[in-house]
Amino acid sequence: MKKVIIGLVIFFLGIVGVFAFRPLGANNTLFEQSLYCVASLIASLSAFLALRTYGKGPRFRSLLFLSLGVLAWFFADVQFNYYKYVINNLSYPSSADYFYLAGYILMFLGLTLEIKLSDISWKKMNKHVYLGSGLFTALMLGIFSYLTVFVSQVFLFLSLLGNIEEEKPQKYG
């Protein structure tokens, strides 16, 4: 077990090194995205190992849904990177989007089953916890929406005006 943990630490330090120092220069995008896929694969394998170890009895279904959700995200990452960096044809919606959506649904089902099994008494929780978690969620949603929707629309608007050029995709493979 210690060898596995040491191997994972070395792997993730390698990922940090690749992203921080860019040893292959500016053209290592495909390599970086491949590392994302490998990290997703490791998460998927870890989820199924957890299922095998702890999935006996009532927790089987919740861990199964969580494991399948992580596996769906791995398939989505692989397909997305294949469409974007190998064949240079990223349509919307692609089959990768359906795997991402399936991953969210499966993870939600798994978490819901896990909450039901944990027998949390919601009535005993502090109202400040609800308020704080709700405000934090709203803040994160606002930041995420700003970064993904608003900024991309500004970029699109400026590119239509001709103020900036769009990045031309490179073909790999």
Element (H, E) at 131: helix 127-145
Q: Is residue 156 part of a domain?
A: yes
Amino acid 22: pLDDT: 62
Look at residue 23 in the predicted model and tell me its pLDDT. Answer: 60
Are residues 69 and 93 located together in one domain of the fold?
A: yes
C-alpha 144/C-alpha 171 separation (Å) is 29
Q: For residues 53 and 89, state if they share a domain.
A: yes
Give the model confidence (pLDDT) of 35-88 as tens digits.
777 778 877 877 878 778 777 888 888 888 888 888 898 888 888 888 877 787
Query: Are 88 and 21 contained in the same domain?
Result: yes
> What's residue 165's pLDDT?
53
Q: Judge if 104 and 37 occupy the same domain.
A: yes
The pLDDT of 141-160, averaged and rounded, is: 71
Give tens-digit pLDDT for 82-135: 887 778 777 777 788 888 888 888 888 888 888 888 877 767 777 787 788 888
The answer to whether residue 172 is domain-embedded is no
The answer to whether residues 128 and 116 belong to one domain is no
> Residue 22 sits in which domain range?
2-120
Query: Are residue 84 and residue 21 in the same domain, yes or no?
Result: yes
Angle formed at CA 40 by CA 145 and CA 64, multiple of 5 degrees: 95
Written as one letter, the residue type at 131 is L
Calculate the CA dihedral of residues 67, 68, 71, 73 and round it to 10 degrees.
-110
Q: Can you tell me the distance from the alpha carbon of 76 to that of 97, in angstroms, rounded to the nearest whole number?
A: 7
Residue 37: its pLDDT value, please?
76
Q: Looking at the structure, do residues 116 and 128 belong to the same domain, yes or no?
A: no
Looking at the structure, tell me whether residues 37 and 68 fall in a common domain. yes
Q: Do 31 and 64 share a structural domain?
A: yes
Q: Does 61 reside within a domain?
A: yes
Residues 78, 13 within the same domain: yes
* Cβ-defined contacts of 49-57 (< 8 Å, 24+): none
Q: DSSP secondary structure string, 24-45? A: TGGG-HHHHHHHHHHHHHHHHH
Q: Is residue 75 part of a domain?
A: yes
Question: Which pLDDT score, from 0 to 100, does residue 155 have?
Answer: 67
Whether 167 has a pLDDT exceeding 70, the answer reads no
Q: What is the pLDDT of residues 8-36, one digit of tens each?
A: 777 777 766 766 666 666 566 666 677 77
CB 103 within 8 A of CB 72: yes
